[in-house]
Amino acid sequence: MRFSLFFPSALVCISAVCSTPLFGQDGGELYFALPKGYGYTRSSFLARNDYEVPLRFGERLKPLSSFLRGDVVWYSLSRGTRSFFLPEPFIVRFEGGGLTEVVGNIPIGRETVDRSHPLPLFYRPDDLVPLAEEYKASGYEWRALLLREEANEAFVRMMDDAKKQGICIRVISAFRDAPYQSNLYQRAIDRYGPVQKAVAKPGHSEHQLGTTCDLTTDEIGYGLSSSFEKTVAFEWLRKNVHRYGISYSYPLYKQRITGYIYEPWHFRYWGNERWTLQSERMGLFFSR
């Protein structure tokens, strides 16, 4: 399914009642989140196209106003002489400096990234190292899996310790930059609809930190599914990940808080000194 975005020659306000002030003093900075697309003629996913002026990932957008239509926030935007609409799911919003490069790396354990707080779109840690092939899931050896050096050491040590107990834990996915995440995000929208909760927007994914892995095991054929929670490998992780400064990001009982679906395979390295604070904030998942 393809969601086309369309432009009109002039913006027609739906009503003065529905229009609301932009977020923040200046509306923040808005950027296009999908790999490519077009603006809508009106605030409806069924809007017909009159003009097709393309938008590209990371393109900065000029906001005019925002309003709620149904359960979705829509923005009226302009570029040159043309005005158009986009829904909030197609936009990455920053209070400021959305494309500003971070000087150096964000300290591990101090990164704030969730549905409300994005990373700079082109943030990429400079201490990424490749994960050794022996720790990649079978069938994923071709992937260049990268992690920040400290996180790589923690995950490798954890997998080695599990192996000593006869438990196989492997990595399917690690660092993902925002442009790559944008493609995954588009696929999720195509499959589940614009308001899906399966894949984070570019800039909002913990994978961009370079400290996060999607894990699997031979018990489920190295797949990526909720059946992972029924494995011996997951039970071992549930009891032991905290020993390595690693935590479970999206537990079943925290979906309303995280805003994402249950992901028993998604683990993030916070560093040992951050574990206590993270445990208090997210809850000790291994005590359930």
Task: Please indicate whether residue 161 or residue 279 has the higher confidence score (pLDDT).
Answer: 161
What rounded mean pLDDT belongs to the chain?
82
What's the half-sphere exposure (Cβ side, CA atoms, 13 Å) at 41? 9
User: Residue 236: pLDDT above 50?
Assistant: yes
| pLDDT score of 198 | 84
d(CA 9, CA 79): 11
| pLDDT digit string, tens, across residues 170-228 | 999 999 999 999 999 999 999 999 988 889 999 999 999 999 999 999 999 999 998 99
Q: Which CATH class is domain 128-287?
A: alpha beta
- In the chain, residues under CATH classification 2.30.30 are 19-94
d(CA 278, CA 284): 9
> Is 19-94 in CATH node 2.60.40?
no
Task: Please indicate whether residue 280 or residue 217 has the higher confidence score (pLDDT).
Answer: 217
- In the chain, residues under CATH classification 3.30.1380.10 are 128-287
Which residues in 22-36 are b (16+ Cβ under 10 Å) and which e? beeeebebbbbbbbe
Closest CA to 138 of 228, 211, 210, 223: 223
User: Residue 64: pLDDT above 70?
Assistant: yes
d(CA 150, CA 271): 8
